[in-house]
Structure 1
Amino acid sequence: MRYTIRQIEYFIATAETGSITLASERLSISQPSISTAITHLEQELETQLFVRHHAKGLSLTPAGRTLLVEAKLLVQQAEYMYTLASEVNDKIRGQLSLGCLVTLASMIMPELSHSFTSAFPATKIAQTVSNHEELLEKLERVELDTAITYNLSVPDGFDFLPLASLPPHVLVGEASPLARHSSISLTELVNEPLILLDLPISREYFLDLFTALGLKPMITTRSPHQDVIRTMVANGYGYTLMNVRPRSDMAMDGRRVVRVPLSGDHKPMVIGVVSLKQSRKSRLVEMFERHCQSFISDAYIPGMVAPVMGRRKITK
């Protein structure tokens, strides 16, 4: 065998990004190094892996798509050698493929990942950010070891370790008359313009809050991007419902948003760690789950105002 695991990793990164430039940024490796590695692989395997498009990046050939699947399996097997060695030596090491729900990632992942790799210096975390459905699919395909998401629609075949509960609340702009309320009900909101977080599972969760009361909200805008929604709310386009509560009350344009408690008894979203059910988890995954349990709770969530800190007495 006259190719290396490193060259295979360069091939995977280029295939997933469709660009040597983006692969270079992802891996912090120079573009010539990646280009040379791919050329070497193509020569060694006597197979064209990519079609080069002028000014439009790269696309995989049929052979390249087939070999990409095998390349990922090869890297996983190589990483598994580290896992086995760590279990034999009782040392935590290796790379953890970690997914995180897109609405949680910007707040939770930086501090959580840094604290884990600081506690276990021989580990690395490869992060994937996606929506709930895609995270479950990647876990099923063994592209991820574990993921941080909500407890909504977790099917049989998965384990879910709960960490913290996030009740829903209303988010409005600073100038909105609703911002002066001590709390507000869904009935009072039903004729107000709703800017809906349009992500799989999340949108169903928020709409079900209304359906449970026989209400139908007035949806004026939908977006899968949380920051876009916060900025629209801050500019007076309407209100939104959220579970996460960032420590900053500023939208991306510097305008302020205000959190108003939602009166009534509503099902919270529960943050947790989800993984495939299996007879035995690797020691690396087990230690990461323990770290999450010690690091995330109702009393503390990285990047957020924790539930116990954000609760106010609701009189309505």
Structure 2
Amino acid sequence: MSDFSLRQLQFFVAVVEEGSVTEAASRLRVSPGGVSVAMSQLEATLKVQLILRRRGKGAAVTPAGKWVYDQARKVLEGAEGITSVAAVVRGELAGPLRIGCFSTLSPWLFPRIAAHFAAEHPGIDVQLIEGASAELQARLKAGELDVALLYANHMAGGVTGTEIVPVRLQLALAPGHRLAAREEIWLRELENEEAILLGVQPSMGHVEDILRRAGLRPNVRWRSTNVETIRSMVARGLGYTIIMGRPYGDYTYDGLPLVYRRIADDIPENAVVVAYPEGTTPTAKVRTLIAFCRSEFGAEGQQPDAGRWTSREGMGEL
């Protein structure tokens, strides 16, 4: 059996991927001399030249080195898998947790999820994949994600989920708007006013259906896929929006205030859910995520029209 170490393979993979011994050393936080020695020892053990060291031009991988690189990656990945299995045997949560998140939800949800797992379950590699609900659900069913955080009314066939917190659409206006002093507003009162709406499906279709059912033909002046762009435009008096997300503080990126008002119309109930493929049993990591989300974001005892996310930090409304 060849007498080489996982550490030597790790150094070699880093050199190939970074293109130089110096950059590999920086990535691994070791000295360039240590990397060079490890490379020489590995080449001596395998009796083949793996990289060409070119002064001032980095390191080039040889044809033999390319084949060894592919095998080395597999060996290192296998070693990581063994480490994860050992952690599970010891009762620890470990390994990757691939979380998809609807793009408008991730600023509210993911930072606290990441902080919690970093502090309480450091063996779990929490990964974030943002996107539209349809894309996330397709990736769930394809096995590319473990869970997805999205709205219940976005869920399609083949996906189920656990409710985290009920939410309700709200009306966002500039403080100087003629209706801003009211606590509750009927949608028909916005007739002929310009709207600035989210341009992401299925949210776009849901909101426009609600407006039409209220007898309002929306005059959509602008659309954006970025909620913060919409909020900033509304704050400047360029139109109103129907929105789910409300950051704590009610100010836009450029420091302008917004007001949020309850919609008087009877609108569909909704909730944030942790979704996973139908017919699957949530893993221990997924169950841990669900438990944290329910505790942190306040699903327990919350009513669908309560609006406010109860949490230890004062999350604001959705």
TM-score, normalising length: structure 1: 0.72
Q: Which amino acid aligns with 2:153?
A: L
Q: Which residue of 1 aligns with 2:315?
A: 304
Q: Which amino acid aligns with 1:305?
A: G
Contact 1:150–1:269 under 8 Å retained in 2: yes
Q: Which residue of 2 aligns with 1:194?
A: 195
- Distance 1:269-1:3 versus aligned 2 partners, 3 A rule: farther
Aligned to 1:288, the other structure's residue is in SS state helix
Q: How far is the alpha carbon of 1:202 from its aligned partner? A: 0.7
Once the two structures are superposed, the pairs formed by residues 175-186 of structure 1 within 5 Å of their partners are: 175-186=176-187
- Distance 1:29-1:161 versus aligned 2 partners, 3 A rule: farther
Q: Which residue of 1 aligns with 2:250?
A: 249
* CA–CA separation in structure 1 for the residues paired with 2:9 and 2:60: 11
Q: Which residue of 2 aligns with 1:148?
A: 149
104-113 or 85-94: bigger deviation: 85-94
Q: Over residues 93-132 of structure 1, what are the superposed CA-to-partner deviations in whole Å (9 max), with x where a residue is unaligned?
A: 2221112111111122112220232122322311122221
Aligned to 1:245, the other structure's residue is in SS state coil
Q: Which has the larger radius of gyration?
A: 2
1:95 aligned onto 2:96: yes
Q: Which residue of 1 aligns with 2:117?
A: 116
Aligned to 1:178, the other structure's residue is in SS state coil
RMSD: 3.7
Structure 1 residue aligned with 2:65, among 33, 38, 44?
44
* CA–CA separation in structure 1 for the residues paired with 2:317 and 2:250: 14
- Distance 1:134-1:75 versus aligned 2 partners, 3 A rule: farther
1:128 aligned onto 2:129: yes
* CA–CA separation in structure 2 for the residues paired with 1:100 and 1:90: 28
Q: Which amino acid aligns with 1:110?
A: P
* CA–CA separation in structure 2 for the residues paired with 1:192 and 1:231: 17
243-252 or 292-301: bigger deviation: 292-301
75-84 or 201-210: bigger deviation: 75-84
* CA–CA separation in structure 1 for the residues paired with 2:59 and 2:173: 51
* CA–CA separation in structure 1 for the residues paired with 2:290 and 2:233: 36
- Percent sequence identity is 24
Aligned to 2:163, the other structure's residue is in SS state strand
Q: How far is the alpha carbon of 1:193 from its aligned partner? A: 0.6
Aligned to 1:247, the other structure's residue is in SS state coil
Contact 1:107–1:303 under 8 Å retained in 2: no
Aligned to 2:180, the other structure's residue is in SS state helix
* CA–CA separation in structure 2 for the residues paired with 1:183 and 1:113: 36
Q: Which amino acid aligns with 2:90?
A: N
Aligned to 1:103, the other structure's residue is in SS state coil
- Distance 1:287-1:41 versus aligned 2 partners, 3 A rule: farther
Segments of 5+ residues of structure 1 without an aligned counterpart are: 15-19, 48-66, 308-316
Aligned to 2:200, the other structure's residue is in SS state coil
Q: Which residue of 2 aligns with 1:291?
A: 292
Q: Over residues 216-260 of structure 1, what are the superposed CA-to-partner deviations in whole Å (9 max), with x where a residue is unaligned?
A: 211111111101001100111000001122112111111111111
Q: Which runs of 4+ in 1 moved over 6 A?
A: 73-79
* CA–CA separation in structure 1 for the residues paired with 2:223 and 2:96: 37
1:239 aligned onto 2:250: no
Contact 1:83–1:93 under 8 Å retained in 2: yes
Segments of 5+ residues of structure 2 without an aligned counterpart are: 1-5, 36-52, 303-308
Q: Which amino acid aligns with 1:304?
A: M
* CA–CA separation in structure 1 for the residues paired with 2:81 and 2:160: 21
Q: Which amino acid aligns with 1:143?
A: E
TM-score, normalising length: structure 2: 0.72
Q: Which residue of 2 aligns with 1:269?
A: 270
* CA–CA separation in structure 1 for the residues paired with 2:59 and 2:268: 51
Once the two structures are superposed, the pairs formed by residues 52-71 of structure 1 within 5 Å of their partners are: none
Aligned to 1:180, the other structure's residue is in SS state coil
- Distance 1:276-1:255 versus aligned 2 partners, 3 A rule: same
Q: Which amino acid aligns with 1:45?
A: K
Contact 2:141–2:158 under 8 Å retained in 1: no
